[in-house]
Structure 1
């Protein structure tokens, strides 16, 4: 059964539903999605703060201006998404896989990520400020101007990522980077630590 934007309601349980087409402007704050599928939906201006997503898949969804703040994600798959200005600050993500996604202005500030995989993704200006990442990997990803300020990282593997213009790199304590990445991170680290590099 397919649902459309106006049919989404706040504080509602959705079990095994398949959502297609236009969900732009929908309001689903505090809704609970169990074993649901979102296929090629327009999610522009979707408002679903504090929603819960369990064993749910999103395929080729797109849109900008999503409010998913303080939402909870467990055992989910996000594949082929094209999204912009996604608010996930304060959210909790566990066992979530992002594959082949392009996301601009992803706000994960203060979020908690556990056993999360980013595979072949492009993240533009992702904000990991004050986020807590445990067992998170970025295989084949390109991170453009990511912000790691005051992040907490444990068993986080950045060796498979292309880091372009990272910010707050002192917050990467506990993450694993490659020797080549360390060379690239050198100037940013020196700047943040106030080191003067002689010619």
Structure 2
């Protein structure tokens, strides 16, 4: 029996737990920052750093968070050409407002992520193991999900020009709020929830994947 969408589990996302007082800090590689505020410009190297209960504002060419450990962090009005977060460990991260060229979360381990009111040219979740993600009021030109493991993910009033779900393993992934122009492989959408209209749009791609030729 097909699963009723009423039983679709929603993301369990809570706001970052932030202290009232934050100390201004400077970025550096391998930093260990707690209760800090960072106002970043130019190029910021925080690769392999630990950030806990921090607030970040950034207008940068590069914000490197590769391999970082992120716990209870809020980013506001972010403008970044590139934000690599490959293999990062994330728990309760909220990014609100701004524009990001490339947001690379490939290989990341994610538990509670909110992306709100953002424009992202390229969002890469390839190979990520993630649960409890909300993406709302955002425009994503290209969304890459190859080999990702996603649990309890929802989109709200968002759009994307291209979505690549090849090898996606999905559980409770709600795509009804994502207006996607194209999916590279509809047959990799097993486990997601779509509207009837979205399925109708995908019918030619699904048919092609099954070797069905459509001719009127």
Coarse TM-score class (shorter-chain normalised): over 0.9
* 2:31 is aligned with 1:12: yes
Partners of 2:24 and 2:185 in 1: CA distance: 43
Q: Deviations over 1:138-184 (max 9, x none)?
A: 01110210111110110001112211112122111010000000001
Name 1:58's counterpart in structure 2: 75
Partners of 1:170 and 1:116 in 2: CA distance: 22
More strand by share: 2
Name 2:45's counterpart in structure 1: 27
Name 2:191's counterpart in structure 1: 174
Give the alignment's TM-score, normalised by structure 2. 0.85
Q: CA deviation at 1:21?
A: 4.1
Partners of 2:50 and 2:211 in 1: CA distance: 47
Q: Deviations over 1:4-63 (max 9, x none)?
A: xxx4222221111111141x3222221011010012x12322222100111100011011
Q: Deviations over 1:91-135 (max 9, x none)?
A: 111111111111111111111120110111111111111111100
Name 1:2's counterpart in structure 2: 24
Partners of 2:172 and 2:84 in 1: CA distance: 29
User: 2:144 is matched with which residue: 127, 151, 154?
Assistant: 127
What's the Cα RMSD here? 1.3
Name 1:92's counterpart in structure 2: 109
Equivalenced residue count is 194
Partners of 2:140 and 2:208 in 1: CA distance: 24
Name 1:42's counterpart in structure 2: 59
Unaligned residue ranges in structure 2 (runs of 5+): 1-22
Q: CA deviation at 1:81?
A: 2.9
* Higher normalized contact order (CA 8 Å, seq sep 6+, divided by chain length): 2
Partners of 2:146 and 2:83 in 1: CA distance: 19
Give the alignment's TM-score, normalised by structure 1. 0.92
Paired residue secondary structure (2:214): coil
Partners of 2:188 and 2:61 in 1: CA distance: 32
